[in-house]
């Protein structure tokens, strides 16, 4: 566990998930501390936002989050973890993201290295096509 994850107050609670790196990711994003969130990624780690190509590396992830995540509040609710063959861990988490204009159900898929660095985060919108169309209005 890094000093960064130890120092964070834990206000995020996710049913089924206790990993401090996962909790710190959500805490940092909700505090709009994008550099701290990006520092949880491995050097080759990637953030795969909806409808976009993966963003690779802490510097690029920080810049992306600063441009795209302002005002968002993430509310993860529950998740499951499985250990993969290479001893990395995969997490599937569901919840909501609230923006100043709308809320949407979201699924996050995390893969953490055996060293507890984020190697991959995929964000999926869990909305019907009609709900997505309504977001455009």
In this predicted structure, the answer to whether residue 7 has a pLDDT above a threshold of 70 is no
Instruction: Report pLDDT for 2.
Output: 45
State if pTM tops 0.95.
Answer: no
Return the residue matching tokens 């959500």: 26
Report how far residue 97's alpha carbon sits from residue 15's, in angstroms, rounded to the nearest whole number. Answer: 17
In this predicted structure, the answer to whether residue 97 has a pLDDT above a threshold of 90 is yes
Instruction: Report pLDDT for 105.
Output: 93
DSSP 18: -
Task: Report, as an integer, the average pLDDT of 2-30.
Answer: 80
1 or 34: which leads in pLDDT: 34
Instruction: Report pLDDT for 132.
Output: 61
Instruction: Report pLDDT for 100.
Output: 84
CB 14 within 8 A of CB 106: no
In this predicted structure, the answer to whether residue 39 has a pLDDT above a threshold of 80 is yes
DSSP bridge pairs for 46: 56, 120
In this predicted structure, the answer to whether residue 70 has a pLDDT above a threshold of 60 is yes
Mean pLDDT score of the chain: 89
What's phi and psi for 126, nearest 5 deg? -110, 65
Give the strand order in the sheet containing 41-48.
Answer: 55-56, 41-48, 118-125, 103-112, 89-98, 73-83
All structural domains of the chain: 3-135 (3.10.450.50)
Task: Report, as an integer, the average pLDDT of 28-35.
Answer: 96
Task: Report, as an integer, the average pLDDT of 48-56.
Answer: 95
């Amino acid at each position: 566990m890094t000093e960064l994850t130890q120092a964070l107050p834990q206000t995020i609670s996710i049913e089924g998930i206790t990993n401090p790196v996962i909790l710190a990711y959500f805490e940092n994003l909700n505090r709009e501390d994008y550099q701290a969130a990006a520092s949880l990624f491995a050097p080759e780690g990637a953030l795969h936002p909806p409808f976009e190509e993966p963003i690779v590396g802490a510097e690029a992830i920080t810049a992306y989050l600063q441009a795209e995540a302002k005002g968002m509040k993430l509310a993860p609710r529950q998740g499951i973890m499985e250990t993969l063959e290479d001893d990395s861990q995969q997490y599937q988490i569901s919840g909501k993201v609230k923006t100043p204009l709308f809320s949407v159900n979201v699924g996050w898929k995390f893969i953490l290295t055996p060293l507890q660095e984020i190697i991959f985060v995929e964000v999926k919108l869990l909305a019907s096509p009609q709900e997505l169309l309504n977001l455009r209005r």
